[in-house]
Amino acid sequence: MEITADLLYKQKLIRGFLHLADGQEAIPTGIEAAITFQDSIIQSYRDHSTFIGRGGTVREIMAELLGRVDGAAKGLGGSMHLYKKENNFYGGHGIVGTHVPLGAGIGLAHKYRKDGHVAFALYGEGAANQGQVHEAYNLAALWDIPVVFTIENNQFGMGTSARRASKNTEFYTRGDYIPGVWVDGMDALAVKSASAFAKQHALERGPIILEMDTYRYHGHSISDPGSTYRTRDEIRGIRRARDPIEHVRALLLEHGLAKPEELKQIENDVKKHVAEETEEAKRSSPPPLCYLWKYVYKKGWGAKLRPVELSRGYIQLPP
């Protein structure tokens, strides 16, 4: 799916920002294997795989990337703002680290309702240096909020390695008063085990930090070639040694749980499915002009809005 998105961007069918997460697939897969849709997830801008894990479809993603009404956010949010409230997926956020306090707030809502569920707040190692993250740590610890702070450490921020940007790169130790666990984020089974443990801990004792040690094959965003601050040999080496999909393939074959031809058939079926869903997304319409204001205010809000000047003249927005 993400390789297809990359191609669509290069064809100039997708515009704006696009952050790919190929190489990090074990994290959303492992987390979803350990929790339910009654638990909540909030994510930063590398959110495509998380949306799929939350029950979203390829068509919803592709339509959103293409700016069409069948998209996850009706074509208004783009790559960084996928959303699925019915399965407790609260986005897709473009500003680095600002959603982490929201994750603590979602965890507080679970505690308030006493529903036995937790919030996972996912963010990168670059966001781990943001001040509001530590403010969220503080309140979550004070109030024993059931939130799992989940750091997707893919080793590089926007062209800068973690060791050049962070004095302490053992991010799981940086909560001070919050326990942390280092996890092999390229192993879906390790992620599942750690996530199940973290959920139980959060319910019984409050917040916990998981550092998922992972790697991204693409650059930071589609405009970053990703090869000026690391070598292509390094990327190839990680693929050969730690690729999360190849690791699962090897386990299935080693334990006799699948045959090579079965796995090949799955790959072919997925490629066909992605191609079909992408074509359906292309057939979706762009959002109409009225969507500029339709989803800005809560329905029924009765304030009078001033006229808005557009290139074609003036229009009066409805209250």
Print the domain residue range for 48.
2-283
Q: Is 86 domain-assigned?
A: yes
Q: What is the CATH number of the domain that holds 236?
A: 3.40.50.970
Rg over alpha carbons for the chain, rounded to the nearest Å, is 21
pLDDT of residue 293: 80
Q: Is 211 domain-assigned?
A: yes
Q: Is 294 domain-assigned?
A: no
Q: Is 75 domain-assigned?
A: yes
Please tell me the distance from the alpha carbon of residue 220 to that of residue 159, in angstroms, as a whole number. 7
Contact of 52 with 29, CB cutoff 8 Å: no
Q: Is 300 domain-assigned?
A: no
Beta-sheet strand order (sheet of 119-124) = 40-42, 119-124, 147-153, 208-213, 180-184
Q: Is 288 domain-assigned?
A: no
pLDDT of residue 226: 85
First vs last Cα of the chain: how many Å apart?
Answer: 40
pLDDT of residue 303: 52
Q: Is 30 domain-assigned?
A: yes
Q: Is 194 domain-assigned?
A: yes
Which one, of 149, 139, 87, lies nearest residue 119 by Cα? 149
Count up the domains in the chain and report the number: 1
Spans of the chain, pLDDT less than 50 = 314, 319
Structure tokens at 30: 């492992």
pLDDT of residue 176: 85
